[in-house]
Structure 1
Amino acid sequence: MRFQVLDIIFNPPHPVTGEEVAPSDRLNRVVELAVLAEELGIDSFSVGERHAGPVLSSAPTVVLGAIAQATDRILLSTGVTVLSLLDPIRVAEDFGTIDQLSRGRLEIVIGKGNEVLQYPLLGLDIAKQYEYLTENYELLKLLISEENVKWVGTHRPSLEDATTLPRPYDGPFRIWHGSATSFQAVELAAKWGDPIVTANAFQPRENYKVLIDHYREQYLAYGHDPSKAYVGSGSGGLFLADTTEQAIEEFRPIYEGAVAQADKRKHDPKAVGKSTSFRTIEEAVDRGPALVGSSERVAEKIIDYHQSYGHDFQSVSVNHVLDFEQQKDTLRRFAEEVIPLVKAELSTTLWTSADKDRAKGFTAVD
C-alpha cells in the first residue's frame, strides 16, 4: 500500500468557533504540510481544484509549483484537475511546467469536479460536463504525447500543427481518473487503460465499489494489462487519538459542525455525492470512510476497505480547522503509527521499479 496526502484547500470559518484563517496563512500551510509529508516518507501530495465556494484551490498549478520548489522527492498530484472546465492547451502547458520544475515528479487526477456552481461561473453548460471531460481528456492526452498536433473537436476551435511547451520532463505524465458518482468516468479510464481514484468520501462503500468493479471489468474488456489497473482511494477525513472513543469525542464538534455547514448549501437530495450520507460522527466512523480513531483502529479500517476495493494507495486529508500544530502532529502520527501497520499487511507494485509508468523523477524506495 502507498499513501498520499490530499488538500482541497477548503477555507470556511471554523464550524464551532467561527474563526477564520487568513488566505496567506492557509496557502502557506499547504506548502509546509507537503514538506512535512516528504520528511515523513509519505509517497505523494495532492492539491485539489475548485472555482466556487469557500475554497482556495482555484489555482492549483501555482500551489504545486511552490511545492515543487520546496521539495525534492515526493510525488506531486491533483485531486482533481477539473478538466471539464479547462482548455487542454493551458493544462498541457501548466503541468508541463510543473513536471519540469519538479524534474519529473508529476502525475495528475482528472475529473468533472464536484461543485455545480463552477459551470455557470465559467460560462459552461453543466449538462455537457461529461462531453467536455471526454473531449478535453483525449486532446490533453494527445498534446502531452505528441508534437505538431492536428485535431478537430466539438467544444473548442480546431488545432493545426500545435506543440505545447514546455514538453513533459521525460515522456507524458500519467493521468488518473477521479471516480465518485458515475459510470462515465470509470468507462473513460478503462477505455484508455488509465488508473482511477475513488472519492470514498460521502457515500456508503457499496456505492463506490460498484464503480470500481465496473472499471475493472471494462479494463479487461478493452484488452489492457490487468496489472496496470491501479486504484487509489480517498477517505472521509483523518483524526487520531490514543483511543477510538477519545478521537470520536474530540472530533465530534468539528465533524457535526461541518455537516451543518454543508446543509446550508441545500443541495438537491437527488444529487448523490454532494453531501455526506453519515449525519453523525458515530455513523461516519462505524459505517463510513472517516479515518477517526486510534492508530490501530484506523489501520484496521484501511485494511478492511482494501478487502472491498483492492486499492493500491490510500489518500488522507487532515482537517484544516485543527490547530496547525495539531495538523502536523496528526500527520506525523499517521506516518509513524498507522502506515507501518498497513504496509505489514498490504503490498502493491504501484510506484515501485516494477511500475514502468510511474513518474520518472519519483524516487520512493520499493
Structure 2
Amino acid sequence: MRFLAITLITHRPDPVTGERKSTHERFREVLDDAVLAEELGFDGFGVGERHERPFISSSPPVVLSHIAALTRRIRLFTAVTTLSLLDPVRAYEDYATLDHLSGGRLELIIGKGNGTAQRELFQVTPEDQWQRNAESYEVFRTAWLQSKVTAATRFRPPLRDAEVWPRPYQRPVRVWHGSATSKESVELAARYGDPLFSANVTHPIEPYAELVRHYRERWAHHGHDPADLAVGAGTAGLYVARTSQEALRAYRPVFEANLAFWKEAGLPVVFPTLEDFAERSSALVGSPQQVIDKVHRYHERLGHSVLHVQADAGGLPRHRHRASLELFQSDVAPALRHALPDPPFPWAPAGAEAVTASRSR
C-alpha cells in the first residue's frame, strides 16, 4: 500500500484557537508540510483545487512546482484538478510543464469539482458540469498522448491539428478519477481504463463501497484486465497516539470545534459525537493497532492500494500533528505496506523520455 498526505489549503481561523494565519503564512505551512511528508517517508503529496472560500488552492500547478523544487523523491498529486472549470489545453500546458520541472513525479486526480460559488465564477451550470468534465478529459488525454489535437468541442473553440507544447516528461502521465457521490466519474475512469480515487470522507463507507463495486463492474464491461485495476481512498481525519484514550483526548477539541463550525454553517452533521466519528467515519483516530485494523476493514470493502491522510494540522498543535505523522510512519505504514498490495504499476516516472533521461545521468 502507498500513502499520500494531501491538503485543500483551507484558510480559515484555527478551529480550536481561533487564530487566523496570513495568506503568506498559510502557504509557507503547506510547503513545510510537503517537505515533512517526504522526510517522514510518505509516497505522495497532494494539493487540491478550489476556487471559493475558505480555500486558497486555486493554483495547484504553481504550488506543486514550488514543492517540486523543495523535494526530490515524493510524487506530486492534484486532489483534484477541476477539469469541468478549466480550458483543457491550458491545463495541459501547466501540468506538462510541472511534469518536467518535477522530473516526472506528477500524478493527476481529476474531477468535476464541488461548490456553487466556483461553478458560478466560471459560468458552469449544474446541468453541463459533467459533460464539461468528460469533454475536457478527452481533450486533456489526447494532448498527453499526441502532439497535435483535433476535437469537435462544445465548451471551448474546436481544435484542428492544434499543437500542444511542451510534450510531457512522462509518457504518459497517470490520471486518476476522483469519485465522491456520482457514477459519472466512475464510468469515465472505467471506460478509459484509469485508476479511481474514492473521496471516502463525508459519509460512512457504504456509498463509497457501492461506487467502487460499480467501477469494478464497468471495468470488466469495458474489457480491461482485472489485474490492472487500482483504487485509492481518502480519510476524514488522522490522529495516531500510543493509546486510544490518548488519541481521543487529544483529538476531541478539534472534532468539537469542527462540529460547531458545521452546525453554524448549516451543514449536515453525519457523525454527532467523536466516538461515532472515530467508529463509523473513515477517520483514523486511535492507537497504531486500531488504525491498522480500521484500514484493513476498509480495504475489505474498497480493495484500495493507495490511502490519503490529511497533511494539515487542522486544529492540532503542530508538535502533536508531527508526532502523529511520525507514529503513523513508524508503526502503522510498515504493517500496512507488508500486508496490503501496492498499485499494479510502478511508483516512478514512466515512459520513453523519463527512461532515456535516467540512463543519461
Contact 2:173 2:350 in 1 (8 A): no
Instruction: Report the alpha carbon displacement of residue 194 of structure 1 after superposing the two structures with TM.
Output: 0.4
For 1:257-268, what aligned pairs fall within 5 Å after superposition? 257-267=257-267
Structure 1 residues 30 and 353, CA gap change in structure 2 (3 angstroms): closer
- Alpha-carbon distance, 1:339 to partner: 0.3
Tell me, what secondary structure is at the counterpart of 2:339?
Answer: coil
Counterpart in the other structure of 2:283: 290
Instruction: Give 2:78's aligned residue.
Output: 78
Residue type at the aligned position of 1:277: V
What is the CA distance between 1:309 and its match in structure 2? 0.6
Verify the 8 A CA contact 2:100 2:168 in the aligned structure 1. yes
Name the CA shift for 1:72/1:230 in 2 (closer, same or farther; >3 Å): same
Q: Deviations over 1:76-128 (max 9, x none)?
A: 11111111111101110010011000111111000011222211122221221
In structure 2, distance between residues paired with 1:110 and 1:52: 18
Q: Equivalent pairs: percent with the same residue?
A: 42
Deviation at 1:138, TM superposition (A): 0.6
Q: Distance in 2 between matches of 1:355 and 1:68?
A: 14
C-alpha distance in 1, partners of 2:231/2:127? 28
CA RMSD in angstroms, aligned pairs only: 2.1
C-alpha change, 1:351 and 1:28, in structure 2 (3 Å) is: farther
1:304 equivalent among 270, 294, 297: 297
Unaligned runs of 5+ in 1: 268-274
The answer as to whether partners of 2:254 and 2:314 remain within 8 angstroms in 1 is no
Partner of 1:166: 166
Structure 1 CA distance for aligned equivalents of residues 54 and 4 of structure 2: 23
Question: Any conservation in 1 of the 2:170–2:350 contact (CA below 8 Å)?
Answer: no
1:313 maps to which residue? 306
Question: In terms of mean alpha carbon deviation, does 94-103 or 296-305 score higher?
Answer: 296-305
Amino acid at match of 1:329: A
Give 2:320's match in structure 1, choosing from 299, 320, 326.
326
C-alpha displacement of 1:186: 0.2
**Residues of 1 paired with 2:232 and 2:123: CA distance?**
32
The one of 274, 278, 285 aligned to 1:281: 274
TM-score (norm 1): 0.92
1:344 maps to which residue? 338
Contact 2:9 2:47 (8 Å CA) reproduced? yes
Q: Is the 8 A contact 1:203 1:276 kept in 2?
A: no
**Residues 301 and 63 of structure 1, relative CA distance in 2, 3 Å threshold:** same
**Corresponding letter in the other structure for 1:294:** S
1:134 deviation in Å? 0.6
**Which residue in the other structure is 2:42 paired with?**
42
Residues 349, 355 of structure 1: 8 Å contact kept: no
| 1:3 to 2:3 alignment | yes
Q: Deviations over 1:303-325 (max 9, x none)?
A: 11111111011110143332333
Q: CA deviation at 1:348?
A: 2.3
Alignment correspondent of 1:272:
none
SS in structure 1 of the partner of residue 266 of structure 2: coil
2:136 maps to a residue whose letter is N
What code does the residue aligned with 2:247 have?
A
In structure 2, C-alpha distance between the alignment counterparts of 1:264 and 1:302, rounded to whole Å: 31
Q: Work out whether residues 83 and 112 of structure 1, in 8 Å CA contact, stay in contact via their aligned partners in 2.
A: yes
The Cα shift of 1:259 comes to: 2.5
Contact 1:193 1:224 in 2 (8 A): yes
SS of residue paired to 1:126: coil
The equivalent residue for 2:122 is: 122
Cα deviation 1:283-305 (Å, max 9, x = unaligned)? 11111111111122111111111
AA partner of residue 167 (structure 2) = R
Q: Which amino acid aligns with 1:328?
A: R
Unaligned runs of 5+ in 2: none
1:227-276 CA distances to partner (integer Å, 9 max, x unpaired)? 22100000011112221122112211211211321333335xxxxxxx55
User: After the TM superposition, which residues 1-366 of structure 1 pair with which residues of structure 2 at under 5 Å, given as runs?
Assistant: 1-267=1-267, 277-318=270-311, 319-352=313-346
* Larger mean Cα displacement after TM superposition, 153-162 or 199-208: 153-162
- Distance, in Å, in 2 between the alignment partners of 1:350 and 1:259 is 39
How many matched pairs? 355
8 A Cα contact 2:104 2:349, kept in partner: no
In the superposition, the TM-score normalised over structure 2's length comes to 0.93
Measure, in 2, the Cα distance between the counterparts of 1:206 and 1:296.
23
